[in-house]
Structure 1
Amino acid sequence: MRPARTSALVLATGVFFGLATTPISAPRAQDVHGGERTAAPAPRYQSLRYLEDYSYLAHTRGDDPFDRLKYVPLWPGGHLSIGGQHRLRYEYLAPVDLAPASAEPRESVLFVRNLLHADLVFHRQIRLFAQIGSFEALGAPARDEPPGANLLDAPQFFLEIRGKARGVGIVARAGRQEMSLGSTRWVSARDGTNVRQSFDLARISLSGRTWKNDTFFGTVPALERGVFDDAPSFQSKFWGTYFTLAVAPGKAASLDAFYLGRDRPDVTYREISGREVRHTLGVRAFGELASGFEYIVHGLFQGGTVGDASILAWGFAGGLWQRLPGAFSPLRIGVRWDALSGDSRAGDGTVSTFHPLFPNQTFFSALPAIYPTNLYEVHPLMQFERGTVSAEAGCTFFWRQAVEDAVYQPPGAPFIRATESRAPFTAAQMSLSLGYRATRHLSFNAEYSHVFAGPAYVEAGGTDVDFFGTWTTFTY
């Protein structure tokens, strides 16, 4: 490791754990009449930090020492909110990928993520949200580029205007921003990777009593490793509209309907390559019953063109969970599944390989071994959550939907080509994860995964894979 990087890592680690262990004395806030404000419990931090609202601190005293950063009054109706997150994530993988003779036998890497943001509220209807981030990957040269590393950039910078008309809430955002839609299965902030997913969008969000809608159009930034060099990529476009409607009281039943469009300048599927314009139509039904039963079901259809070829792809996904009764109520047992199309016919002028857009790549596990396309998978699991402790254990079984198509790995590159194996069964991935939330600010997570090589793995020259990851996160 280079001396400069070693010093930077030691400094970052010292600052990180210093913040985590050093108390901050919050000043006693007074209301406009000179009396002491009553204490208010601090809300949980959001994955999308711009969804947090600390305006309540104008009228009450927070009980968190960082509240002096969360609400800094500037003028009548205006305030500043400052926050951030620092994460150390260690990953060990052996062997790397399929471990052919030329590959590294193992990978040991430390990811360092530092994020700072400022939320400037000019008025209750106008705000400017800005975030900067630094991302390092130490110990593995192959990870020393996005999404593993990015020296310094602005993952988010947007202007927001909000209002209300005839009972409909209206929020308009323009600029670079993170976005998660629905269950985050197809569009997510990609928190598992070191550099999260951002978009350059013009976006309007509407909400009523039982419904909401997001409509957007924009581009996907081209990530570079340097300093403030992640420019908008007008060759890579993304647009769509996403509706959510509550169709039953409480959480019993809700329905999503969405259209998502993606334009990519140059893609390749087997012998077909060129510009891709792909349209995704989808529905999602989900709900939670008083008995502790939860369900979610997705159905998707994709059309469009790749070069001179047409696209005809499909996908189904879902999950069922049941919370156990009585003394076993911290436990949930469940199963997830996916059926995502592959291309079974070469040279027919049609591409049937499903494209998952911007998926939550840690959906199966902290080790995203297989990309969600051209597969059948089933994932029985058990989850535990009680107080500040959580755990999950499960095993995911992967098959190719079309053996004539490849097995893919993130971010969508062929992992096992059809010419390397005709076996449908790819692998089984067993995972055990643990989480502990020490305080509102500090959390610890760890996961172990073992990939049992199936015939497709073995015929392509692969073996079993071991993965261990642990990450410590401090948020304020």
Structure 2
Amino acid sequence: MKARFAVVAICFISMLVIRAQETVGNQLEFSLLRQNDEILIYPADKNGLYEKLKQLQLGKRSTLSFGGSYRFQSEAFINEQFSAELDQGDIWFLNRFQFHTHLKVAEKLELFAEINSSLISSKANLSPVDRDDLAVNQFFARYIFNDQWNLLLGRQNLRLGSGRLVDIREGPNVRLSFDMAQLEFQNPQTNVTAFYAVPVRLEQGVFDNDALDLQESVAALYWTQNWNKSNSTDVYAIYKEEEAKTWDSGTADDNRLSLGLRHFGSLGKIAYNNEFVYQTGSFGNLDIRAWTASFNLEYPIEIMGNKGVVGLKTEVISGDKDADDGVLNTFDGLYPRGAYFGRVARIGPSNLFDIHPYVNTNLDRFSLELDYVAFWRFSREDGVYGPPLNLQYPSDNTRRFIGHQIGTITSFAVNRSISLELETNLIFPGDFLADSGLDDTLFHTVFTAEFKF
């Protein structure tokens, strides 16, 4: 089975490489959210099959475009749960297909539809984000009132700011979608978005995901202001309601308001991206008082004559101080990226203090990244959570240090449509894990090949 999937993936990628060579003349920019793709194809350039099908001109002011992607991943662990006593033969294969169509009518109306098929083989215990045989990933209509105001209704992948609290969950096999209503104001300096959204609950079959399941919902007002070329801020309020949420202190309905400020830009050669969030609300009969502060600085460098950056991130994320004081201090990261510190997906944004230096560089079509992260529990009375904010390791000892993580990412851009990437991670358990009987070094690797058209 593994060999068959590998052969299919290799043949598919090879076919796409050949096809991609026919599209060199296209002027295309693929975005993470494909509704934001930049497509510039002039009638005089339409001399190939790809150009004729990629974007159709419908009258003078309307277009219909098509696109999609295929992503193959092979992922493996050794000591996946920091224990050599468990099965060490874990290697699985993931395939994700996406196809979309985008209709733009007279600069007034947009219709965007995207289907997704996320498949996996050779993995025994599936998480909710591993498999979704066939589903509607996005399907929305946007009405454009004028140059500043637009209204969106439907299903959408969503990313706010740097993706710290609301992201599309690109790392895992299945993206995060919301059924939502959104009103947006924008001009060159200002963007204000207000929305009410319900996250789509995943099932593994064909078109069987639950829509408008009000066990969980989120409403937000998000304001981005570009003060000048090097100084911008995000100010936001996000209110989330979730039934039967589980933290280390128990399970109850969690209703919380997140008030945030992000300051980003550059000062001379130094780029910065700093964010502070305070949360209040209720968890059952407990009051919520939680917070986080994140700091990120980058400085440009040269490595062997090639441009790169050296950076430092650090985060302080509150955890619960006392299970019996009537207050919950555990921070809720809301909808963060599925793998918060690399695709290894072991440590998530709650009850955490980390120091994260890194260096990145580009060598022609190669890009290389090396990073190191040291993790501590912020509170000794709270547990350690995974990226989906599920309780991974309960607080069963008073140790604070979780462990060290060393990661590498090597990427190669075959052309603008095809990219290859190899990521590796080592996590060395600290005292907290070791005293819980989890004292074996975790190794993780994932190979990714992706084609976009």
Range with bigger deviation, 324-333 or 126-135: 324-333
Instruction: Tell me which of 392, 405, 420 is aligned to 1:444.
Output: 420
Partner of 2:145, secondary structure, is strand
TM-score for both structures, normalised by structure 2: 0.94
3-state SS of 2:148 partner: strand
Secondary structure of the residue aligned to 1:405 is coil
Q: Which residue of 1 aligns with 2:313?
A: 336
User: CA separation in 1, counterparts of 2:246 and 2:340?
Assistant: 25
Residue number in structure 1 paired with 2:236 = 258
Label 1:65 to 1:47 Cα distance change in 2 as closer, same or farther (>3 A).
farther
Equivalent pairs, count: 451
2:32 aligns with: 47
Q: Which amino acid aligns with 2:110?
A: R
Contact persistence 1:391–1:433 (CA under 8 A): yes
> Quick check: 2:199–2:217 contact (8 Å CA) kept in 1?
yes
- Partner-residue secondary structure (3-state), 2:14: helix
Work out the CA distance in 2 between the residues paired with 1:280 and 1:42. 41
Instruction: Indicate how the Cα distance of structure 1 residues 471 and 390 shifts in structure 2: closer, same or farther if over 3 A, else same.
Output: same
Contact persistence 1:130–1:157 (CA under 8 A): yes
Give the structure 2 partner of residue 110 of structure 1. Answer: 93
State the partner residue of 1:31: none
Matches of 2:89 and 2:377, distance apart in 1: 26
1:10 deviates by 5.5
Q: Does 1:163 align with 2:139?
A: no
Unaligned runs of 5+ in 1: 27-38
Name the counterpart of 1:14. Answer: 11
Aligned twin of 1:129? 112
Structure 2 residue identity aligned to 1:142? N
Q: CA deviation at 1:121?
A: 2.2
1:238 and 2:218 are equivalent in the alignment: yes
The separation in 2 between residues aligned to 1:8 and 1:106, in whole angstroms, is 17
Say whether 1:301 aligns with 2:278.
yes
Q: Pick one of 117, 124, 128 that aligns with 1:141.
A: 124
Question: Would the aligned equivalents of 1:342 and 1:352 in 2 still touch at CA under 8 Å?
Answer: yes
Residue 318 of structure 1 deviates from its aligned partner by 1.7
The structure 1 segments of at least 4 consecutive aligned residues displaced by more than 6 Å after TM superposition are 5-9, 62-65
For residues 97 and 450 of structure 2, the distance between their equivalents in structure 1, rounded to whole angstroms, comes to: 10
Matching residue of 2:432: 456
Structural mapping, 1:296-445, within 5 Å = 296-324=273-301, 328=305, 330-419=307-396, 421-445=397-421
Match of 1:177 in 2: 156
Q: Which residue of 2 aligns with 1:213?
A: 192
Cα distance change of structure 1 residues 127 and 402 upon mapping to structure 2, 3 Å threshold: same
Distance 1:7 1:469 in 2: 18
- Bigger drift between 431-440 and 115-124 goes to 115-124
Alpha-carbon distance between aligned partners in 1 of 2:149 and 2:198, rounded to the nearest angstrom = 22
Separation of aligned partners in 1, 2:47 and 2:30: 15
Output the CA distance in 1 between the equivalents of 2:141 and 2:3.
Answer: 37
C-alpha displacement of 1:239: 1.2
Question: 2:193 touches 2:221 (CA, 8 Å); kept in 1?
Answer: yes
Following TM superposition, by how much is the alpha carbon of 1:13 offset from its aligned partner in structure 2, in angstroms? 5.2
CA–CA separation in structure 2 for the residues paired with 1:266 and 1:317: 28
Structure 2 spans left out of the alignment, 5+ residues? none
1:410-440 C-alpha deviation (Å, 9 max, x unpaired): 3222222112x21100011001111111101
Q: 1:426 to 1:62 in 2, by over 3 A?
A: farther
Structure 1 match to 2:260: 282
Per-residue CA deviation, residues 202-244 of structure 1 (Å, 9 max, x unaligned), is 1122111211111110201110001001121122101101111
Residue deviations 1:128-173 (CA, integer Å, cap 9, x gap): 1111111111111213x53001110011011111132xxx522221
User: What is residue 86 of structure 1 aligned with on the other side?
Assistant: 70
Matched, 1:268 2:246: yes
Residues 179 and 187, structure 1, Cα contact 8 Å, conserved in 2? yes
- Output the CA distance in 1 between the equivalents of 2:46 and 2:343: 35
Q: Say whether the 8 Å CA contact 1:23–1:65 is kept in structure 2.
A: no
Distance 1:384 1:190 in 2: 25
Looking at structure 1, the residues matched to 238 and 3 of structure 2 have their Cα atoms a distance apart, in angstroms, of 44
Q: Which amino acid aligns with 1:240?
A: A
Matched position secondary structure for 1:66:
helix
1:308 positional shift: 1.5
The AA in structure 1 aligned to 2:233 is L
Q: Name whichever of 423-432 and 134-143 sits farther off.
A: 134-143
Change (3 A) 1:9 1:382: closer
Q: Displacement of 1:99 after TM fit?
A: 2.7
Whether contact under 8 Å (1:42, 1:62) holds in the other structure is no
2:180 aligns with: 201
Q: Is the 8 A contact 1:256 1:285 kept in 2?
A: yes
In terms of mean alpha carbon deviation, does 326-335 or 236-245 score higher? 326-335
CA distance in 2, matches of 1:333, 1:388: 19
Q: Which amino acid aligns with 1:74?
A: L
Query: Residue deviations 1:257-284, cap 9 Å, x none?
Result: 0111111111123444321111100000
Work out the CA distance in 1 between the residues paired with 2:392 and 2:249: 17
Instruction: Judge conservation of contact 2:26–2:51 (CA < 8 Å) in 1.
Output: no
Q: Is the 8 A contact 2:130 2:174 kept in 1?
A: yes
- Residues 58 and 71 in structure 1, CA contact (< 8 A), matched pair in contact too: no
| Structure 2 partner of 1:29 | none
> Quick one: which amino acid aligns to residue 267 of structure 1?
K
CA pair 131-41 structure 1, distance change in 2 beyond 3 A: closer
CA RMSD in angstroms, aligned pairs only:
2.3
Does structure 2 retain, via aligned residues, the 8 Å contact 1:339–1:401?
yes
Pick closer, same or farther for the CA change 1:12–1:229 going to 2, 3 Å.
Answer: farther
- Give the aligned partner of residue 151 of structure 1: 133
- In structure 2, the residue matched to 1:66 is 50
Answer yes or no: is the 8 Å Cα contact 2:26–2:41 preserved in 1: no
Residue 75, structure 1, aligned to residue 59, structure 2: yes
One-letter code aligned to 2:200: P
* Structure 1 contact 316–338 (Cα < 8 Å) conserved: yes
